[in-house]
Amino acid sequence: MEKNRYIVRQAIKDVDSHVLGYEIMYSGGNEAYGEEKANEISAAQAIYDFLMQNSEKALRNSRTFMTFTSSLLAKRTPHLFQNENLVIQIDDSVIIHPFAMHLVQQYAKEGYEIAVNDFQFMPRYLALMDYLAYIKINLKAIGRNSAENIMRVAESMNKKVIATGIEDEDHFNQAAKLGVYGMQGSYVADKLANQVYQSSFLRSNFFRLVVAITKEEPDVQEIEQIISRDVTLTYSLLKIANSAYFARRTKTTSIQQAIMTLGLNQLKRWVYLLSAEDKSAKGLKDSEEFIKMSFMRGSFASELEKYIKEPTLTVSEAYLLGMFSTLEYLIDAPMEEILADIPMVDALREALLHHAGKGGKLLDLVISYEKADWNRITEDAQELGVPSEQLTVIYFNCMEEINQIWEQMIHPEELDSEAEAALKASMEEADGADHTDNTDAAATTGATS
């Protein structure tokens, strides 16, 4: 039976959790290169076919590392990508292949950077040093002495070292002490979560919200779209819409309902209050990366929900499931406390709190794909009835859409002064309108009496 080919993008970060680049990882590819030749060729063909159609989605405005087999190198697959964006990774199966190594040398001369996986102190690895820009070491597989020796050699030859397999705090601390250039692994993602600036929202997106809400004729659909891209704005809006001040018989469970509940004047006040919060840049880059991840989870979950048979969540609820799954990292409180003031269907609440039901399994699938947990991906997809062969296409379509939106959002320097001026003028206008309303009401009351 043909093995499923999953492709996912995993961040490479420095010790302070700043993103240095991404690695494109694929099941049946990275891990199967040592298997029989037929499987290696099959994996290479599947990956090549996908990248032929999705090269622009795989690499966009980032340094991207990708492992190439001998077959992929022979197919000239690296030429699908610009040399300033791509780092060609190779492992032992390529190093021992004379023709493949000849191709690697050619790619290096063409300006592509080369990285080697699982570097070892062997003559065939040391002979490569002139062509390498990056050395990757797996701290789970090598001892501390070997790691220190590799670091000394790398530093003496101006090579950047990336530690992989960072799965716990011990490995993280070891890598930090070694002084590696970058790190990869599940603990690296969790480390980012712990360092996120609490309750941060993406300021460039917030400025767009200010401009949208202060137009002469605000577009409610545009306002809804802007808010839906930021998990903290979404959460804040739903919370205030369900506060005692706006008490309603029917609880507000969507962004659109919340906008209607508040009305434009109150919505402007909410935005004004947010603008008065601390604008410190502390942790801002970390927050932006994490908010982007929330956005990706929401988009991916809502698309996967469309494939689930007899779903317990709507597509909109699945979007909130993915977005809100990161809230406890953005807000320093237990998830139970965070969700206490937000009305939602039981299936969504149980999925967020306990990973229960189909919603919980959907969240498991989103997270297992994010972490490149190949075995769990297949298992979770089969349990939900989501076609495994569609997962990679759905994932990269979501990633492409988010990347395009993100590029439009990240221009705070162009919007900052415009946003603040618009907000100030709008608030003065709203206050004047309220004063007029109150005066008219008082006059009417006096005339009646």
pLDDT at site 409: 57
pLDDT of 69: 87
Given phi > 0 = left and psi -120 to 50 = alpha, else beta, which region is 403?
A: alpha
Q: Quick one: pLDDT at residue 6?
A: 83
Give the type of residue at 160: K
The rounded percent of the chain whose pLDDT value lies above 70 is 72
Place of tokens 């603008």: 275
Overall average pLDDT of the 132-142 stretch: 92
Q: Where are the beta strands (DSSP E) in 174-273?
A: 182-183
Q: What is the mean pLDDT of residues 92-106?
A: 91
Q: How confident is the model at residue 46 (pLDDT cuts 50, 70, 90)?
A: low
Closest CA to 431 of 268, 271, 275: 268
What pLDDT is stored for residue 425 in this prediction?
62
Is the pLDDT higher at 18 or at 379? 379
pTM given for the model? 0.73
pLDDT at 284: 46
The answer on pLDDT for 41 being more than 70 is no
Give me the pLDDT at residue 420, please: 58
* CA distances, 109 to each of 67, 73, 279 (Å): 18, 15, 46
What phi and psi, each to the nearest 5 degrees, are found at residue 96? -85, 0
- pLDDT confidence bin for 245, thresholds 50/70/90: low
Does residue 68 surpass a pLDDT of 60?
A: yes
Most confident of the following: 93-102, 154-163, 251-260 = 154-163
171-197: average pLDDT: 77
Question: E strands of 144-293, at which residues?
Answer: 160-164, 182-183
**Of 3-12, 27-36, 278-287, where does the model show the most confidence?**
3-12
- pLDDT at residue 431 above 60? no
The residues, ordered by sequence, that sit 6+ positions from 282 with a Cβ below 8 Å of its Cβ are 197
CB 386 within 8 A of CB 307: yes
Do 78 and 106 touch, CB atoms closer than 8 A?
no
In this prediction, residue 281 carries a pLDDT of 41
The mean pLDDT of 170-185, rounded to a whole number, is 93
Per-residue pLDDT at 295: 85
- Structure-token match 């609440």, residue found: 349
Cα(426)–Cα(15) distance, integer angstroms: 43
Looking at the predicted structure, is the pLDDT value of residue 57 above 50? yes
Average pLDDT for 277-300: 67
pLDDT (0 to 100) of residue 195: 42
Question: Can you tell me the mean pLDDT for 18-26?
Answer: 87
Quick one: pLDDT at residue 286? 54
- What is the full DSSP assignment across 370-429? HTT-HHHHHHHHHHHT--GGGHHHHHHHHHHHHHHHHHHH--HHHHHHHHHHHHHHHHHH
Per-residue pLDDT tens over the stretch 322-373: 988 988 776 767 888 888 877 888 999 999 999 999 999 999 999 999 988 8
pLDDT tens profile 205-216 = 776 787 788 777
